[in-house]
């Protein structure tokens, strides 16, 4: 179960004519994908909410702290993707470093992360569609069951684009990214006319007890184990805000799942990951500074405050519709890139035999159409009928587990395979990977206990599936049986 798949074998598998992805993507395409998935509705909502209830004007500094933590992990992803330019991202990296069972666990983790992300974001897209149309969310009530047809529509459209090819998907993403960047630029220009420097004082407001009623299974694992009370504002609030806004950056790792479809992955994957992260960091900081300069953070204390709230205070209600259009474009691209990441992880697992091999067929288009259809149907059913509630946090914990393994994996592969050609190398090893792993672990312990319990349950189910199917169908196991498991020699 702990057999590793060599980097050379992973690269050879990409030449299988029946399971070969088409190489169409450039560094520009990857940067667009990165910006597309990271800049969503969060820039219009999370910034205001965090400023008003947790950090005050210091929310801009919280974005800086979060970007540093995220950048540490991004460097590790860049090295791995340039060294192992194969579909699958953290799953593939884990297979080369920690072995098959850990690779399966992280792959199973990513399946949950991407499926929930696609479905949850699609529901958010549907709500903004209702705003643009001037009505409630596109939902049909069938007796006691509600059907969100707006969420199903966006998943169906995105699935059709991805089945056609990643290059077309990249072009559509570029258009949507241009729209939302134009909206953000307009927000910054108009917001600057209402900017008052005195609103930034005090930059870090005095701390005060948080009155959010969190307790029991809803409190964070850190609060439960230490008995520490929650506070807002002050330095503790600033650090808590960094944990919150970190999740605004989630998604850049999806760029690594497209490594096999990149023309020059050793050069372009690092550029795509780090370039997109730099762009979105500047945008997040700029928007947070303009927002907290427009109004006092105390005017955003309502937990439902958004960027549009600041403009409404100044009577510029017309900006609300523009923000809704920007959010609609932003969420469209998030659904697309998360959908892409889901299919590529499943594709890699199927090609390795840990899932049915037939799912890895690509055909003449060089695209896993069968997998794309299956993922689309499952996510559409989830988005159409399920009310997720606190299940959204499962996306966060799944992502952070992958981040930790990738950071540690860089250290492992540096020791076990120092001879490998690396298109990009993480600087200051082992300091950077260790700091990246510790930063992600800190964010994990700030998630709720119920999220941890659900995550452990999902992982336990994954182990059962691996023992029942993946272990005996593994292509690596058939090619090189483990001497301690002689039964594998009879498979085939």
Is the Cα torsion angle 37, 332, 392, 467 positive or negative in sign?
negative
Write down the pLDDT at residue 348.
92
Q: Report how far Cα 18 is from the mean position of its chain's Cα atoms.
A: 29
Give the residue from 67, 55, 37, 56 showing the smallest Cα distance to 284.
67
- CA-closest candidate to residue 236, choices 430, 78, 446: 446
> Can you give the pLDDT at residue 390?
58
Dihedral over Cα of 283, 258, 104, 117: its sign? positive
pLDDT at 379: 95
Q: Please tell me the predicted confidence (pLDDT) of residue 492.
A: 31
**Cβ-proximal residues to 318 (8 Å cutoff; 6+ apart), any chain:** none
Task: Give the 3-state secondary structure of the chain.
Answer: CCCCCCHHHHHHHCCCHHHCCCCCECHHHHHHHHHHHHCCCHHHHHHHHHHHHHHHHHHHHHHHHHHHHHHHHHHHHHHHHHHCCCCCCHHHHHHHHCCHHHHHHHHHHHHHHHHHHHHHHHHHHHHHHHHHHCCCCCEEEECCEEEEHHHHHHHHHHHHHHHHCHHHHHHHHHHHHHHHHHHHHHHHHHHHCCCCHHHHCCCCCCCEECCCCCCHHHCEHHHHHHCCCCEECHHHHHHHHHHHHHCCCCCHHHHHHHHHHECCHHHHHHHHHHHHHHHHHHHHHHHHHHHHHHCCHHHHCCCCCCHHHHHHHCCCCHHHHHHHHHHHHHHHHHHHHHHHHHHHHHHHHHHCCCCCHHHHCCCCCCCCHHHHHHHHHHHHHHHHHCCCHHHHHHHHHHHHHHHHHHHHHHHHHHHHCCCCCCCCCCCCCCHHHHHHHHHHHHHHHCCEHHHHHHHHHHHHHHHHHHHHHHHHHCHHHHHCCCCCCHHHHHCC
Tell me the per-residue pLDDT of 169-200, one tens digit each, with 9 for 90 and over. 888 888 988 998 999 999 999 999 999 999 99
CA–CA–CA angle 76, 397, 375 (5° rounding): 90
Non-local (6+) Cβ contacts of 466 within 8 A are 101, 104, 105, 108, 354
- Taking CA atoms, 189 is separated from 30, 38, 144, 286, 313, in Å, by 28, 22, 46, 11, 17
Which residues, given as ranges, of the chain have pLDDT below 50?
482-492
pLDDT at position 490 is: 32
Q: Domains in the chain, ordered, with CATH?
A: 7-163+194-460 (1.20.1740.10)
Q: Rg for the chain (alpha carbons), in Å?
A: 22
Quote the Cα angle for 109-115-121, to 5°: 125
Q: In degrees rounded to 5, what are phi and psi of residue 211? A: -115, 70
Residues 6+ apart with CB under 8 A from 86: 10, 11, 13, 14, 92, 259, 260, 348
Strands 208-209 vs 139-142: parallel, antiparallel or unpaired: unpaired
User: In this predicted structure, what is the pLDDT of residue 352?
Assistant: 94
Judge whether 173 and 276 are in contact, CB under 8 Å: no
What integer pLDDT is reported at residue 146 of this predicted model? 87
For the chain, the first-to-last Cα distance in angstroms comes to: 18
At 488 the pLDDT is: 36
Q: What is the pLDDT of residues 93-106, one digit of tens each?
A: 999 899 999 999 99
């Amino acid at each position: 179960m702990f057999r590793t798949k060599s980097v050379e074998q992973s690269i050879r598998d990409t030449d299988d004519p029946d399971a070969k992805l088409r190489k169409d993507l450039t560094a520009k395409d990857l940067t667009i994908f990165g910006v597309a998935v990271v800049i969503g509705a969060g820039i219009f909502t999370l910034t205001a909410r965090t400023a008003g209830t947790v950090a005050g004007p210091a929310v801009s500094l919280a974005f800086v702290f979060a970007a540093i933590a995220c950048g540490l992990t991004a460097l590790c992803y860049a090295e791995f993707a340039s060294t192992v330019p194969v579909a699958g991202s953290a799953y593939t990296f884990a297979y080369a470093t920690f072995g098959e069972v850990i690779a399966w666990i992280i792959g199973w983790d990513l399946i949950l992360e991407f499926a929930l992300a696609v479905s949850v974001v699609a529901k958010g897209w549907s709500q903004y569609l209702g705003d643009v149309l001037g009505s409630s969310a596109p939902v049909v009530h069938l007796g006691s069951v509600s059907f969100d047809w707006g969420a199903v529509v966006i998943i169906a459209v995105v699935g059709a684009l991805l089945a056609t090819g990643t290059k077309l998907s990249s072009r559509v993403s570029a258009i949507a990214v241009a729209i939302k960047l134009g909206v953000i630029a307009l927000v910054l220009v108009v917001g600057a006319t209402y900017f008052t420097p005195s609103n930034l004082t005090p930059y870090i407001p005095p701390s005060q007890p948080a009155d959010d009623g969190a307790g029991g299974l809803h409190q964070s694992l850190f609060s439960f184990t230490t008995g520490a009370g929650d506070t807002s504002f002050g330095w503790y609030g600033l650090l808590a805000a960094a944990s919150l806004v970190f999740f605004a950056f989630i998604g850049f790792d999806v760029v690594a799942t497209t490594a096999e479809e990149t023309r020059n992955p050793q050069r372009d994957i690092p550029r795509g990951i780090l370039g997109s992260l730099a762009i979105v960091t500047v945008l997040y900081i700029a928007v947070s500074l303009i927002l907290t300069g427009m109004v006092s953070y105390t005017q955003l204390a309502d937990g439902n405050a958004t960027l549009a709230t600041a403009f409404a205070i100044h009577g510029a209600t017309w900006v609300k519709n523009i923000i809704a259009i920007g959010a609609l474009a932003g969420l469209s691209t998030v659904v697309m890139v998360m959908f892409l990441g889901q299919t590529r992880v499943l594709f890699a697992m199927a090609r390795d035999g840990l899932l049915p091999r037939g799912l890895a067929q690509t055909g003449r288009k060089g695209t896993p159409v069968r997998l794309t259809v299956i993922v689309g149907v499952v996510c559409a059913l989830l988005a159409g009928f399920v009310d997720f509630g606190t299940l959204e946090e499962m996306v966060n914990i799944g992502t952070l587990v992958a981040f930790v393994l990738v950071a540690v994996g860089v250290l492992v592969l540096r020791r076990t395979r120092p001879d490998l050609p690396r298109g990009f190398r993480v600087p200051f090893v082992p300091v950077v990977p260790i700091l990246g792993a510790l930063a992600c672990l800190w964010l994990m312990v700030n998630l709720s206990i119920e999220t941890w319990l659900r995550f452990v349950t999902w992982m336990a189910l994954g182990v059962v599936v691996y023992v029942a199917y993946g272990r005996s169908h593994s292509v690596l196991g058939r090619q090189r049986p483990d001497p301690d498991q002689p039964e594998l020699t009879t498979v085939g």
